[in-house]
């Protein structure tokens, strides 16, 4: 029996300023259309999430690929992950430079090596071996990212305070289920402004920035990377969902509450946006009262009353 | 009159019961790590928990001529960690000390004695985690330092980040005054020989997976705080920049005062795919014992992704386990002043700490 394909994307959880709001909406819409076109034609969820995240990486309004934020040295270092829910195979890259589409490179790590994660110089050498074009850093850097970097260098802000302002970008990601019921997730980021050279956040760490398992669902996370890592957020949500497929919303709320506590956030206000009509995905947006915003998209498979897959 | 004296008895009885009831409510009122919205971070013991340390020196194929060195190395590491706990030291210091001991020991694939990447260099990954507040520090693909676990701890305590990699990790080490050592100092004759052998045209990359990887430690201190630490040179002849489970929180290790602490070893990619450390703690949250949880997770990893490995576990009540699906894993534990250690399935040697220290 074939499944109705679904694709959900996010462009990062942060206090999106007005001048970026419209572009951000356009950006995620564009990405979801590109990715869904793959699913409509019977393509795989892996391909769909890759295409969707590529679109977000190419869009300078998001902190991934083009438009990524700068590290303490004024350089762009990128992280990404992609995961196949059928086989649990994954590919991840951390701290790579001069590459336009880290998610595609992560996919190459999955398909062309026996490994899950490559980092830094070694990763870049492998990219060169594969013939992935190296782009000059100037092509990836926007004026906005540069301005942000200068501001934070001037005032020596810490990681935590970055999330208290309006100027922080965040990660992009996608989750999908295809017509064969296979799931995938992908996440990509430039990290946080003025991060230490070599800082790796949750994005490429399997179970934190993303996780996909055909038996349960797929997750892509965004927000304060270190907090997400402390609770291995993506995997945590799927643990909740494993306990009871029908309490996903409460599971996500619970997970986010827990994450917020660990990240020293006092409390959550959350609002559930209306579900998409069919089949079952819910889109949970959580706004925290202080500092941390986590936008979390998950999809899962739901079985009908008599056990058949919808 | 009779009823009023009964009332007096009742109220005295209740007053007597009240502190007991309060103690009962307090000790059972700890929410599970998964569903609770209140996080109690203090350990349960307030100084009354019996400390435990468990260490491993890697799951995989340990050659006969290396067995004694492995047994000796893990027991030394466990005893070192235990001496810290016995003096009232914390779990974090204990696991760091135990892992440092094994990084300095050329018998193990961590620090000195690490396997070599495809270019013949040593690149190391390590993680340390504090179960009290879920703080963690990790490094990946770091070179030319003797003790990656110490650097991982510095990442945790001196930065606002949790993982530093490659060149950035080395820059941070320099900024912290960690001495840079020539890469050759970490290379043993053994690791060089294996590297050369693996380069031969008829070598089988699948065989590389069987070599023991990684060292680790988990501990619970007398305040009931748990911690884990894991450190490795990775896979023999790996691609430059390959990062395994040891630097990845939830895969190479995890520690949570609500449940326990884990350190893993084995085929890194398989452990990452199932997020092994976190999976084991999840099973324990569901009520499984450390042994059941470890066996269930290792079996799942074998059937779902075809990977083998080993784990050491300590629960927040001081129960422990050392389990592996490979043929061998060197491990040692100290609890109640008693040392136990082994390599093969079912092999357990026991001695008192006093005897063990004397023989060393």
Q: What is the pLDDT of residues A8-52, one digit of tens each?
A: 999 988 777 787 788 899 999 999 999 999 999 999 999 999 999
Mean pLDDT, chain A, whole residue set: 79
Interface contact A115, partner B, CB < 8 A: yes
Residues linked to residue B263 through DSSP beta bridges, in sequence order: B253, B312
Which is it for strands B215-220 and B52-60: parallel, antiparallel or unpaired? antiparallel
CA B149 to chain CA centroid, nearest Å: 11
pLDDT at B42 over 70: no
d(CA B203, CA B86): 47
Q: Which helix H or strand E contains B231, and what residues bound it?
A: strand B226-232
Interface contact B141, partner A, CB < 8 A: yes
d(CA A113, CA A194): 32
Stronger pLDDT, B24 or B131, i.e. the higher one: B131
Tell me the residues of chain B between 251 and 310 that have a Cβ less than 8 Å away from chain A: 251, 254, 268-269, 272-275, 278-279, 282, 304-305
Q: What's the whole-model pTM score?
A: 0.85
Residue of A nearest to B240 (CA): A122
d(CA B318, CA B315): 5
Which among A160, A200, A240 is the nearest to B163, CB-wise? Answer: A200
Sheet containing strand A217-220, edge to edge, reads A210-213, A217-220, A293-300, A282-288, A268-272
Which pLDDT tens digit goes with each residue over B182-205? Answer: 999 999 999 999 999 888 888 876
Tell me the residues of chain A between 65 and 94 that have a Cβ less than 8 Å away from chain B: 77, 87-90, 94
- Set of chain B residues whose Cβ sits within 8 Å of the Cβ of A226: 160-162
Structure letter (DSSP) for residue B225: -
Residue whose tokens read 């092994």: B276
Strand stretches in A214-274, DSSP E = 217-220, 268-272
* Minimum distance, in Å, between the CA of residue B33 and any CA atom of chain A: 8
Which pLDDT tens digit goes with each residue over A222-262? Answer: 998 999 999 999 999 999 999 875 455 555 555 665 655 56
d(CA A226, CA B155): 12
How many degrees, rounded to 5, is the angle at CA B251 between CA B248 and CA B256?
Answer: 95
> Which pLDDT belongs to residue A250?
53
Stronger pLDDT, B19 or B243, i.e. the higher one: B243
CA B260 to chain CA centroid, nearest Å: 11
């Amino acid at each position: 029996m074939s499944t109705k394909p679904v694709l959900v994307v996010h462009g990062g959880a942060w206090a999106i300023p007005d001048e970026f709001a419209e572009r951000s909406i356009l950006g995620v819409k564009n990405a979801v259309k590109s990715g869904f076109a793959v699913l409509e034609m019977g393509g795989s969820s892996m391909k769909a999430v890759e295409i969707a995240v590529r679109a977000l990486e190419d869009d300078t309004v998001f902190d991934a690929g083009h438009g990524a934020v700068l590290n303490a040295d004024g350089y762009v270092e990128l992280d990404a992950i992609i995961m196949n829910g059928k086989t649990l195979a994954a590919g991840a890259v951390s701290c790579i430079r001069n590459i336009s589409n880290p998610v595609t490179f992560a996919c190459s790590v999955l398909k062309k090596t026996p490994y899950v994660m490559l980092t830094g110089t070694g990763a870049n050498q492998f990219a060169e071996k594969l013939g992935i074009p190296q782009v000059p850093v100037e092509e990836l850097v926007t004026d906005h990212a540069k301005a942000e970097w200068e501001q934070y260098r001037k005032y020596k802000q810490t990681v935590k305070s970055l999330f208290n302002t309006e100027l922080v970008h965040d990660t992009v990601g996608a989750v999908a289920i295809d017509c064969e019921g296979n799931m995938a997730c992908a996440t990509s980021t430039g990290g946080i402004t003025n991060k230490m050279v070599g800082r790796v956040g949750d994005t490429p760490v399997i179970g934190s920035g993303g996780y996909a398992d055909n038996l349960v669902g797929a997750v892509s996370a965004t927000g304060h990377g270190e907090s997400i890592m402390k609770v291995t957020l993506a995997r945590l949500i799927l643990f909740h969902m494993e306990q009871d497929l029908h309490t996903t919303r409460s599971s996500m709320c619970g997970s986010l509450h827990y994450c917020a506590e660990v990240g020293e956030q006092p409390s959550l206000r959350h609002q559930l946006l209306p579900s998409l009509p069919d089949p079952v995905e819910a889109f949970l947006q959580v706004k925290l009262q202080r500092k941390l915003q986590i936008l979390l998209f998950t999809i899962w498979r739901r079985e009908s009353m008599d056990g058949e897959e919808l | 009159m009779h009823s009023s004296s009964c009332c007096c008895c009742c109220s005295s009885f209740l007053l007597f019961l009240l502190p007991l009831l309060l103690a009962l409510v307090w000790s059972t009122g700890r929410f599970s790590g998964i569903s609770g919205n209140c996080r109690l971070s203090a350990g349960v013991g307030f100084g009354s928990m019996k400390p435990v340390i468990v260490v491993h020196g890697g799951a995989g194929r340990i050659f006969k001529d290396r067995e004694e060195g492995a047994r000796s190395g893990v027991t030394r590491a466990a005893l070192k960690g235990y001496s810290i706990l016995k003096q009232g030291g914390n779990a974090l210091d204990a696991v760091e000390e135990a892992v440092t001991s094994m990084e300095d020991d050329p018998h193990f694939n961590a620090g000195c004695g690490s396997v070599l990447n495809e270019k013949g260099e040593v690149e190391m990954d390590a993680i340390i985690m504090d179960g009290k507040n879920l703080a963690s520090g990790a490094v990946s693909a770091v070179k030319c330092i003797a003790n990656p676990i110490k650097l991982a701890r510095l990442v945790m305590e001196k930065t606002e980040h949790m993982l530093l990699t490659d060149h950035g990790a080395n820059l941070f080490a320099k900024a912290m005054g960690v001495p840079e050592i020539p890469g050759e100092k970490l290379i043993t004759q053994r690791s060089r020989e294996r590297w050369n052998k693996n380069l031969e045209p008829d070598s089988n990359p699948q065989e590389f997976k069987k070599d023991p990887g990684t060292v680790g430690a988990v501990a619970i201190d007398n305040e009931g705080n748990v911690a884990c630490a894991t450190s490795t040179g990775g896979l023999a002849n790996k691609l430059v920049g390959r990062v395994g489970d040891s630097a990845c929180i939830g895969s190479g290790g995890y520690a949570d005062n609500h449940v326990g602490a884990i350190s893993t070893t084995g085929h890194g990619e398989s452990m990452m795919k199932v997020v092994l450390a976190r999976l084991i703690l999840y099973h324990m949250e569901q009520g499984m014992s450390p042994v059941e949880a470890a066996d269930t997770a290792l079996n799942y990893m074998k059937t779902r992704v075809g990977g083998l490995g080993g784990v050491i576990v300590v629960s927040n009540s001081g129960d422990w386990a050392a389990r592996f699906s490979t043929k061998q894993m060197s491990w040692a534990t100290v609890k109640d002043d008693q040392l136990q250690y082994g390599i093969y399935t079912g092999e357990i040697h026991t001695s008192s700490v006093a005897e063990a220290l004397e023989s060393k």
